Amino acid sequence: MSRILVTGGGGFIGSHLARELYRQGHFIRVVDVKFDNYIKEKYYSEKVQLDLRSFENCLMATKGMDYVYNLAANMGGIGYITNVGAEIMHDNTLINIYMLEASRRNKVKRYLFSSSACVYPTFLQKDSDVKGLKEEDAYPAAPDSFYGWEKLYTEKLCEAYQRDYQMSIRIVRYHNVYGPEGTYKGGREKSIAALCRKVAEASNLGKITIWGDGKQTRSYCYIDDAVRGTIMLMDSDYDKPVNIGSDRLVTINELADIIIKISGKKITKLYDLSAPQGVRGRNADITVARKVLGWEPQVSLEEGLSRTYKWIEMMCREEAVIAKS
């Protein structure tokens, strides 16, 4: 049994990751500034509420830990990271600088940083029919958001700590992770959760609004696959960034159509061309994950969307009942 810290343990990926590690029999300490996740059962050995923008709190969080999965971040979907820049860079830079240094001082055996596909340059993502982004494509650097710049900076910070202090560090670049028990409302939700909520709330023969023209493309990775890949990376000997995602590219229109079909409703799609859209196309090359980890996604997009939609639909129904009472 290892002693493992999962920061961001109140968030979507962090709570799912902690739950799987807890199921494996490890001692799991989850830390977050707040716990508003939707997982009902106990998924940790110890739960600590701390603001990791404080170095002293990071020292407390990492004390006595063998392994650290650092998933703590101020983040959200395209609407949020388009509108918020300074706060994201300020908060996340502090968290990541302090967490790395605290982990070094407390002699953590291995440290994992959760990076993002947002590190990739805008000039490689201008077309809908986009090639899969390889890990080395991150340079020359030109991310499209402040969030992406901070993630790329922290990757280099991890590289410096590896070189100067011989820290054992792993870096995962997540590509559009989705699934049930995640944020689906409030402004920080991502595209799949937002579309599922819109369809769930719409009546039969109703309408939903899609941001952009619907022809922009993405690839998506189901949460269970992302968690499995993350743990495999942490346990591996590979110390360079690794994409954890899917190489199946779909348009937002196709995504919406699958969700609408799952719902059993007939719904008209409207378009808001003034809304934030992000890059035109983004896809993952997962060759490295296949080669060095033996990992690839196992849950199809249709199956993952079905699980996600059913959970969000249930949450929306429960909210409607409460609102009427």
CATH number of the domain that residue 253 is part of? 3.90.25.10
d(CA 48, CA 60): 10
My answer on whether 9 and 102 are in the same domain is yes
The predicted pLDDT at position 277 comes to 87
Q: Are residues 72 and 195 both part of a single domain?
A: no
Does one domain contain both 91 and 151?
yes
**pLDDT at position 10 over 80:** yes
Q: Kindly report the backbone phi and psi dihedral angles of residue 214, in degrees, each rounded to the nearest multiple of 5, phi listed first.
A: 80, -5
One domain, residues 107 and 124: yes
Position 323 pLDDT exceeds 90: no
Burial class, 75, CB count within 10 angstroms (exposed 0-12 / middle 13-18 / buried 19+): buried
Residue 36 has a pLDDT of: 85
Same domain, 168 and 191: no
Confidence of residue 120 (pLDDT cuts 50, 70, 90): very high
- My answer on whether 116 and 195 are in the same domain is no
**pTM value?**
0.96
pLDDT digits (tens, 9 = 90+) for 221-253: 999 999 999 999 999 999 999 999 999 999 999
Q: Are residues 214 and 226 in the same domain?
A: no
82 vs 324, residue with greater confidence: 82
d(CA 261, CA 238): 41
Rounded to an integer, what distance in angstroms lies between the CA atom of residue 278 and that of residue 77?
10
Average pLDDT, the chain: 97
In a domain, 293, yes or no: no
Q: Are residues 103 and 190 in the same domain?
A: no
The pLDDT tens digits for 184-225 are 999 999 999 999 999 999 999 999 999 999 999 999 999 999
Same-domain pairing of 254 and 308:
yes
Is 147 an annotated catalytic residue? yes
List the catalytic residue out of 98, 111, 120, 147: 147
Tens digits of residue pLDDT in 163-192: 999 999 999 999 999 999 999 999 999 999
| Boundaries of domain holding 112 | 3-177+220-244
**Is residue 224 located within the same domain as residue 274?**
no
pLDDT confidence of residue 325: 77
Determine the residue type at 117: A
- pLDDT of the residue at 30: 98
> For 138, phi and psi rounded to 5 degrees?
-65, -20
Sign of CA dihedral 101, 82, 220, 197: positive
| 135-161 pLDDT tens trace | 999 999 999 999 999 999 999 999 999
